[in-house]
Structure 1
Amino acid sequence: MAPSSKICPGCEVAMVPFLAKGVEIDCCPKCGGLWFDFGELTRVAGRKAELELMGGHTSRRCAFCRISMEPALLPGAIPVEACTACRGIYLDEDELEEFARGHVSMTPRDGHPWKRARPEQRKETSTAAQPQGFECVRCGLRFPYSEGNALRGGLACRSCTPRPQTTEAERRSANRDSDLGHAGGPDVDFDFDFGFD
């Protein structure tokens, strides 16, 4: 099943797109956590997802923006985490059914069956056993977090990060400073005959 561009806030693996009531959501194949872009949870659960932000930040990072999320409560005092930038919501494995007050069936977007690791398998591959770092969203290789640069779709390594664009004035200024070689400016030949006789 093809991964989505979102990274699970709970265990830092690529999430998988699913359809729930005709809405595409992202599900973690490892921990079962669910990511809802703004407005999706209301459509899937059939009730308004009014968040009560609790203040502060959690250790989990937004599946889309990759910034620290804020703890929040859904109606019914269901604890979730929300991104204050993109307004996405992350729910742990059983919180959707609790909020929706019943089972919500999910269908894999590409038609493959949903196979999440059994509980005993999840314990063996806990986050503590996983190598620390991130997987570059462009090249797919693993790097330490210190080498990550935030892009719209997640973290990218240094070689896959687009170079910043500079203006013509910035390029001229940089070239002028590097071409001078000394503070006095370029050498100018004042003995040149301009021919104004």
Structure 2
Amino acid sequence: MSHIDEITMMMYTDGELLTEESEKVAEHLRSCQECRNTYDSWMEDRSFFEQSFSATSAPLPSLHPSVTQQIDAICALHRKNRQASSKIINRLTALLLSLFLLAVIPAQSWLFNWLEWLWPIVQPYLLWTSTFWLRENAHTLWDYLLLSCFLFSALFVCLILAIILTGANRQAESIDPAYSRGGDRP
């Protein structure tokens, strides 16, 4: 048997090999000094890491009161800036949504008013010239349906975004109670 590859050695040290494979590796380690040295080195590393990660970490030293005050001041400033930016974003969202609605409704009314004079002229040709009117104009109806679905979807997305943006501050407060209490530490 040639020297043991790294993956097999890792699996052997972790005890992940099948019994038959493990026996072959153990037999090779008894006969090959180079692989035995590699195995011993890997086991030393493994025990070092096990000891390092199993040891409890020392408690953190307490901070000087001036440092704590500076951290609290930074938290309060951050909270104030976040609330201000949240208000700005909420107002911009409401403004954009209002402008969208104000633009769509009059445009729709204007379009219908503009087409109103055209309807009596076109109506007989559209409805009564063919018995297969629906089949012949299905693609036009489908286009109108898709357009209206797109517009309603865009409106729905705008409303969802407004809800998300207005609820972001509430979510931050629910995740971090210290944030909602003005930076007080428990």
In the superposition, the TM-score normalised over structure 2's length comes to 0.23
Larger fraction in strand:
1
Larger fraction in helix:
2
